[in-house]
């Protein structure tokens, strides 16, 4: 079963607990700038949108890497091998979503690896705006929610 992070921006309050949890687990410091997940703040609309690597099937970052430092594990997660990464940043340019970042301290790139199957960001989210779930179930849940809205609207008509 393939699992993925499912993000519901409508539930995000902008608390940034996900960023803090990620940076602590991955870097040992509560420093959102070292997080693999970011919460975009659209302050003019009072909206917050968490965003991180979506583990693309196409994986432009992986295809662009000249040293093959980005590999795919059995669960479809794209991982950066620090021993092979030379810090050229080609993958950061190749990622159309901007979710592969360069770590100045290490001279290597960093990206979400789903914390080995227990994403800290999802565990830390107090509003369940970030959930780690079965990929197929996520689509079903969205369809079911839409169907329930449609039924409620039809009953009111």
- Across the chain, the runs of DSSP E, i.e. the strands, are 3-7, 38-42, 47-51, 70-72, 78-80, 101-103, 108-110, 130-134
Number of domains into which the chain is organized: 1
CATH of residue 152's domain is 3.30.70.20
pTM to 2 decimal places: 0.82
What is the spatial distance between Cα 109 and Cα 94, in angstroms, rounded to a whole number?
13
pLDDT tens sequence across 17-69: 999 999 999 999 999 999 999 999 998 888 999 999 999 989 999 999 999 99
**Domain of 18, in residue numbers:** 3-156
Q: Say if CB 114 and CB 77 are below 8 A apart.
A: yes
Q: Rounded mean pLDDT of the chain?
A: 90
């Amino acid at each position: 079963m393939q699992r993925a992070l499912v993000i519901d921006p409508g539930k995000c309050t902008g608390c940034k607990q996900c960023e803090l949890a990620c940076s602590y687990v991955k870097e040992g410091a509560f420093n959102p700038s070292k997080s693999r997940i970011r919460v975009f703040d659209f302050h003019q609309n009072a909206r917050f949108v968490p965003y991180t690597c979506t583990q693309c099937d196409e994986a432009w970052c992986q295809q662009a890497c000249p040293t093959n430092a980005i590999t795919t594990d059995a669960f479809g997660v794209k991982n950066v091998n620090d021993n092979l990464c030379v810090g050229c940043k080609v993958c950061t340019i190749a990622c159309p979503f901007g979710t592969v970042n360069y770590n100045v301290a290490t001279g290597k790139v960093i990206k979400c690896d789903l914390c080995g199957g227990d994403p800290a960001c999802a565990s830390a989210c107090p509003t369940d705006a970030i959930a780690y779930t079965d990929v197929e179930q996520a689509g079903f849940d969205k369809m079911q929610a839409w169907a329930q809205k449609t039924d409620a609207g039809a009953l009111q008509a």
